Amino acid sequence: MKRVVVIGAGAAGTMAAIFSASAGAETLLLERTRDGGRKILISGGGRCNVLPMVVDASRFVTDSSPNVLRKMLRSWPLDEQVAFFERDLGIPLVDEPESSKRFPASHRARDVRDGLLAHAVAKGATLLMNSVVTDFAPIDGGWRVDREGGLPLDADTVIVATGGLSVPNTGSDGLGLRILDRLGHTMHPTYAALTPLTADEPSLAALSGVSLPVTLTARAGPRSATATGGFLFTHRGYSGPAVLDVSHVAVRSRAETATDARLTARWTTLGEREWEVALRPHGVRTVTGALRAALPDRLASVLLEMAAVDPARILSELRRDERLRLIEILTRGPLPWSGDEGYRKAEVTGGGVSLAEVDPRTMESRRHPGLYLCGEVLDAFGPIGGYNFLWAWATGRAAGRGAAREGE
């Protein structure tokens, strides 16, 4: 019987163990924390956004080939993943159409984490919690896995599912990435992604607590990202899906270039022409009245101040230059930012092992036979909305199947 060691009982590793054990391999799942799957537990605000309702593969971010990424995703189509959760795990999912997300019907992330681990055991995998892997290396045609305070383990194949660097207290400290680098894999520099941004602009800090849907764009040299979704002013800066989805462009501009990314916001669904109409003279309506019809009051006041327009100005008296300035601010207003919350708050890690280093069908390393990679150690992440679990489930399953069958 083939002996497979899976390192990391997070989203990808637990799925890999399920499919490795289902394919008949003797499967050992090693996890450093007491219980595993801690990111699943805290995901989606404790509700776990298991999957998106629809997948747009072009929204994934990678420095590797997008075609290879698509191949990996296609290996387990969305409808089959949904069926797996509902039929095999017995976890019914519900849609949230306004956000295009899927959640467990119980709205309890714990059901997903516990259901996956229980299924791995039911399929025959052995879980070893509180087991910190310190190294893994090829030896005599197989693999040796070293653990803290335990004897080394022998394996025919090893699956690395140790995740990235984000939210370290969930168990991810980047050890897997460091060893994969040492084993000669091409690595793309890692960076915090889906992380809130900070700002020290007092007028905007006063808006803390205000939230609204916006369209944000971040641009830095050849890189850009645009996202439409929720935006939240916090006491430290900005958060919400739209901010998280463009944050990687800001983070990378800081790390890689001398020029910070430029962030701009379209604060409403109205474009230039619609604002031209909305700002036309209308009885004794003031410019504040026109803005408040489309924006939270406090934000309307701040935007008028930024545009240097008197809030009491009656629309019929609004000068052309004022109108143009205001429309500019409303449709592509600059959003000052000073930094980011880094890995401490990042939902994922960007960068990692180049996708070119693995066979997209089996997730086997092209550098080392018998070594399989899945989840966040790979150079890909998706937007908010269940895309990152989709990636973990698809690559985890493929790695589990590949590792169990390799050399058969």
Ligand X SMILES: Cc1cc2nc3c(=O)[nH]c(=O)nc-3n(C[C@H](O)[C@H](O)[C@H](O)COP(=O)(O)OP(=O)(O)OC[C@H]3O[C@@H](n4cnc5c(N)ncnc54)[C@H](O)[C@@H]3O)c2cc1C
Does the protein bind ligand X through residue 127 (CB under 6 A)?
A: no
| CB count in 10 Å sphere of residue 336 | 14
Stretch that binds ligand X, among 150-158, 161-169, 198-206, 218-226 (CB under 6 A): 161-169
Minimum distance from residue 161 beta carbon to ligand X (Å): 5
Minimum distance from residue 286 beta carbon to ligand X (Å): 42
Stretch that binds ligand X, among 5-13, 62-70, 204-212, 301-309 (CB under 6 A): 5-13
Does the protein bind ligand X through residue 11 (CB under 6 A)?
A: yes
Environment class of 176 (CB within 10 Å of its CB; exposed 0-12, middle 13-18, buried 19+)? buried
Element housing 112 (H / E)? helix 109-122
Among 160, 388, 401, 403, binds ligand X (CB under 6 A): 388
Phi then psi for residue 212, to 5 deg, are -165, 160
Site for ligand X in 356-385 (CB under 6 A): 375-376
**Chain centroid, CA 334 distance in Å:** 25
Among 111, 322, 347, 357, binds ligand X (CB under 6 A): 347
Which of 41, 166, 30 lies closest to 111 in space, CA to CA?
A: 41
Minimum distance from residue 132 beta carbon to ligand X (Å): 5
Does the protein bind ligand X through residue 389 (CB under 6 A)?
A: yes
Does the protein bind ligand X through residue 116 (CB under 6 A)?
A: no
Q: Lay out the site mask for ligand X across 263-282 (x = CB under 6 A, - = otherwise).
A: --------------------
The sign of the CA dihedral 32, 37, 41, 44 is positive
Among 4, 44, 278, 329, binds ligand X (CB under 6 A): 44
Among 251, 348, 373, 398, binds ligand X (CB under 6 A): 348
What CA–CA distance (Å, rounded) separates 63 from 83? 31
Question: Which residues are CB-neighbours of 215 under 8 A, at least 6 positions away?
Answer: 226, 227, 228, 242, 265, 266
Does the protein bind ligand X through residue 31 (CB under 6 A)?
A: yes
CA angle 191, 197, 199 (to 5 degrees): 135
CB 18 within 8 A of CB 31: no
Query: What is the binding site for ligand X (CB under 6 A)?
Result: 7-13, 30-33, 36, 38-39, 42-44, 48-49, 132-133, 161-163, 166-167, 170-172, 175-176, 347-348, 375-376, 386-389, 392
